[in-house]
Amino acid sequence: MKFADLGLSDELLQSVLDAGYDTPTAIQAQAIPSVLMMRDIIGIAQTGTGKTASFVLPMIDILAHGRRRALMPRSLILEPTRELAAQVAENFEKYGKNHDLKMALLIGGVQMGDQVKALSDGVDVLIATPGRLMDLFERGKILLTGCELLVIDEADRMLDMGFIPDIETICSKLPPNRQTLLFSATMPPVIKKLADKFLSNPKYIEVARPASNNTNIAQHKIHVTTRGKREALRHLLRTDNVGTAIIFANRKTTVRELAKSLQQSGFSAGEIHGDMDQNARNAELQKFKDGVISILVASDVAARGLDVKGVSHVFNYDTPWHPDDYVHRIGRTGRAGASGRAFTFVTDDDAEAIANVEKLTGMKIPVFTLDGGDAAAEVPVAEKRERAPRAEKAPRKARAPKAAAEPVAEVEAPREVAAKPVRARRDEPRPPKDVLTELPSQPGEWNGPVPGFLSVSAL
């Protein structure tokens, strides 16, 4: 099947050919004709299957007929992160170059004045994260009553990030007779309930089993100690024929520290996480895409859905807390038919997390050994060598008691003196020193979405 067989306009087909494509992926071949027929869609597809083009292409042809109105976008695409929203915007720019369509990108981090101006001029396509959209709506700067088409992308990630209540609110403000497209890599019960509530007789399209993994990706897990992680990572980066790699960590502090450590070890590494402003994140990502740096250390929120060609390796420096994140992380490699490798470091504390991943994916991830030996045993070797000199000093400890044993009387006397104050203090109230030790530890940081950036362009 070719794109020409899907019912797209000649102008759009030319844009697709100019982009270097002529054969649709499975999700595109099934979704595009149904979207053009104005059907509601539930699309279940793993990452890297061309899901974005499956709704961008038919939307361009549908929106080619109609008129823009101030403050009333004609269509709305909801994305969980600003990077994903920016990538969808790039798709509209690439494929819509032969159409007169206006687009606005609302992802936070910039002054609202520019965004309000763009909306007041009228837009055909509004691409937004839920937080910024709700903010503008509550300020009365945007009207959703003219929205003819809604796309909820990465719905399972929306659930993970706590956006479902916002999505329900947004859907309640839209016209009831709209067309709704929902795409997700997995279909947990909450997302199924959302689809039943807001979609009308949708066509269900599934091109891969929920939570299944790309067969082009060779997956491995490595048993390590917490102290041995960095040593194991550096070893793999040097010996596993790594071209470009994305390294995922669960915490933003770990991302920063690991990127700095790799740079000090001579690796060309950058970082991307939720504490960085949008310009800094864009700059790091562009350096990675351009090959200026070959390693990108990332948090889940910042890197969710990143589409970078030619990533040879993905490293889960931390086993993901949520098993769904595993599918999305390793999906950064092995894209568009290419092969890739994914390594997950597993400590004793990660036993439950990796078990949840294997349960979700329905496979037992093979154990990888370093240099032919068990990784769990090999990595701590350096620690054992560091402790070896201490054993040589053991005879000194044996001689030390001789000098201390001579003044026996002096040792006993202080014990009697010290015993009296102890008995005296037993009747006094104990100081509240245990209060500090019973305080809860500092909670882990949250990689929540940070509102971001606006761009408006003629497609």
The residue among 368, 388, 409 that closes a domain is 368
User: Does residue 91 belong to any structural domain of this protein?
Assistant: yes
Are the CB atoms for 78 and 151 separated by under 8 Å? Answer: yes
Q: Over the chain (459 residues), what is each successive 10-residue block's mean pLDDT? A: 93 93 93 96 85 95 90 94 88 93 84 82 93 90 93 91 93 94 90 94 84 79 94 95 95 95 96 85 90 94 72 96 86 82 96 93 90 42 39 45 43 42 42 40 44 42
User: Domain check: are 202 and 228 in the same one?
Assistant: no
What DSSP line would sit under 220-248, residue for residue? EEEE--TTTHHHHHHHHHHHS--SSEEEE
User: Does residue 44 belong to any structural domain of this protein?
Assistant: yes
Report pLDDT for 430. 45
What DSSP line would sit under 317-378, residue for residue? SS--SSHHHHHHHHTTSS-TT--EEEEEEE-GGGHHHHHHHHHHHTS-PPBP-BTTB-HHHH
User: Does residue 397 belong to any structural domain of this protein?
Assistant: no
User: Does residue 135 belong to any structural domain of this protein?
Assistant: yes
Copy the structure tokens of residue 66. Answer: 């109609």
Q: Residue holding tokens 């609302």?
A: 106
Count the neighbouring beta carbons within 10 Å of the beta carbon of residue 86. Answer: 20
User: Does residue 453 belong to any structural domain of this protein?
Assistant: yes
Global confidence as pTM: 0.66
Q: Mark residue 214 as left, alpha or beta (left: phi above 0; alpha: psi -120 to 50; beta: remaining).
A: beta
User: Does residue 51 belong to any structural domain of this protein?
Assistant: yes
Report pLDDT for 438. 38
User: Domain check: are 246 and 311 in the same one?
Assistant: yes
User: Domain check: are 248 and 138 in the same one?
Assistant: no
What SS3 class is residue 415?
Answer: helix
Report pLDDT for 280. 87
Amino acid (1-letter code) at residue 236: L
- Interhelix angle for 51-63 vs 10-18, to 10°? 140
What SS3 class is residue 77?
Answer: strand
User: Domain check: are 30 and 148 in the same one?
Assistant: yes
Report pLDDT for 454. 41
User: Domain check: are 14 and 112 in the same one?
Assistant: yes
Copy the structure tokens of residue 371. Answer: 């240099």
User: Does residue 317 belong to any structural domain of this protein?
Assistant: yes
User: Domain check: are 280 and 322 in the same one?
Assistant: yes
Copy the structure tokens of residue 137. Answer: 């709506």
User: Domain check: are 52 and 110 in the same one?
Assistant: yes
Go through the chain and tell me how many residues it has.
459
The residue among 368, 400, 424 that closes a domain is 368
The residue among 304, 336, 368 that closes a domain is 368
Report pLDDT for 305. 62
User: Domain check: are 229 and 178 in the same one?
Assistant: no
Are the CB atoms for 73 and 430 separated by under 8 Å? Answer: no
User: Domain check: are 357 and 326 in the same one?
Assistant: yes
Report pLDDT for 66. 86
Report how many domains make up the chain: 2
Q: Mark residue 449 as left, alpha or beta (left: phi above 0; alpha: psi -120 to 50; beta: remaining).
A: beta
What gap in Å lies between CA 48 and CA 446, rounded to an integer?
26
User: Domain check: are 80 and 188 in the same one?
Assistant: yes
User: Does residue 416 belong to any structural domain of this protein?
Assistant: no
Count the neighbouring beta carbons within 10 Å of the beta carbon of residue 136. Answer: 19
What gap in Å lies between CA 456 and CA 235, rounded to an integer?
45
For residue 73, the domain's CATH number is 3.40.50.300
Report pLDDT for 436. 37
User: Domain check: are 151 and 264 in the same one?
Assistant: no
Report pLDDT for 42. 97
User: Domain check: are 356 and 278 in the same one?
Assistant: yes
- Nearest residue to 447 via CA among 184, 157, 168: 157
72 secondary structure, DSSP code: B
Edge to edge, the sheet with strand 313-316 lists 217-223, 340-346, 313-316, 245-248, 295-298, 269-272
Residue 138 lies in domain: 3-210+449-458
Are the CB atoms for 338 and 371 separated by under 8 Å? Answer: no
